[in-house]
Amino acid sequence: MDLLLSILILTLIIAMLRENDSLRLVVYFTGFSLLMSALYFLYHAYDVALAEIAIGSAILPLIFIIAIGKQKTFVVISRVKDDFMNEEENSPGQTLLRGFAHRYGLKTEIHFEGQTRLKGAFRRRNADLMVIKSRRDGKYIFLMKSSSVLHYKMQRIVEGHRNLRFEVVEEDQIYD
């Protein structure tokens, strides 16, 4: 019986190693910890089995799934609301951003906010990108965190457009 369980656990581990999709990985991990707790039970380690079954199959998958869901969205905060960027999906700014996010397998989420509120470098909503309008030359500025992985790629896209500019902000810098 314990040999059968060990073989099952080994196959699950190999399946986990060869898996690319994160959500399936979490499901495999849940099955792995269930089988592990059964094995602990067979070896008379009841205390460890209780802890493993509650942590490994309920709490850790929840945390992982929330983290994965958070990672897959591309959050944009826009302070501009005119022809370039508005609530309609086919406005040029939204098409650009949605196309960019779609290329990297992300889901886009755009929030519109008023001009008056000051805030730190996007920390409150964990936004990835912020759109504002420059007062001097009327260009639209795309702001991204310097810690973001995607900001080089975004910069390359923005350089092709004439009415856009790209800027990088540090983590705790306040932009008004």
Partner 1 sequence: MKDSDSIRCIARILYPFMLLFGCYIIIFGDVSPGGGFQGGVILATARLVTLYIPEKADIDVEIFNLAEKLLFLLLLLLGLLSLFTVGGLFTNVLSAELPHEIRRWFLVILNLAIGIKVSSGLTLIFTQFVKEGE
Partner 2 sequence: MIKKIRTPLLIIMLIFIFLFSLSGIPGILEEEPDSTIGDLVIERGYSDTSSKNLVAAILLDYRLFDSVFEAAILLISAAGVLYMTRLPLKDKTMKGGKGNERQ
Is the CB of 47 or the CB of 88 nearer to partner 1? 47
Instruction: Round to whole Å and give the CA distance between 163 and 78.
Output: 16
Is the CB of 130 or the CB of 154 nearer to partner 2? 130
Binding partner 2 by CB under 8 A: which of 120, 147, 159, 173?
Answer: 120
Characterize the bridge pairing of strands 164-169 and 140-145. parallel
The dihedral region occupied by 105, where left means phi > 0, alpha psi between -120 and 50, and beta the remainder, is: left
C-beta separation of 101 from 74 below 8 A: yes
**Distance of closest approach, residue 119 Cβ to partner 2, in angstroms:** 8
Is the CB of 70 or the CB of 153 nearer to partner 2? 70
* Residue 69 makes contact with partner 1 by CB under 8 A: yes
* Residue 176 makes contact with partner 2 by CB under 8 A: no
Sheet with 129-133, strands from edge to edge, namely 107-112, 73-78, 129-133, 140-145, 164-169
* Residue 47 makes contact with partner 2 by CB under 8 A: yes
* Residue 43 makes contact with partner 1 by CB under 8 A: no
Let me know if 131 is exposed, middle or buried by CB neighbors in 10 A (0-12, 13-18, 19+). Answer: buried
* Residue 14 makes contact with partner 1 by CB under 8 A: no
Is the CB of 7 or the CB of 50 nearer to partner 1? 50
Per partner kind, with CB cut-offs from 5 to 8 A, the member of partner 1, partner 2, none near residue 104 is: none
DSSP letters, 50-87, are HHHHHIIIIIHHHHHHHHHHHHTEEEEEE---SSSS-S
Q: What is the CA radius of gyration of the chain?
A: 23
* Residue 59 makes contact with partner 1 by CB under 8 A: yes
Chain residues in the site for partner 2 (CB under 8 A): 47, 119-120, 123-125, 174
User: Which stretches of the chain bind partner 1, using CB under 8 A?
Assistant: 46-47, 50-51, 54-55, 58-59, 62-63, 66-67, 69-70
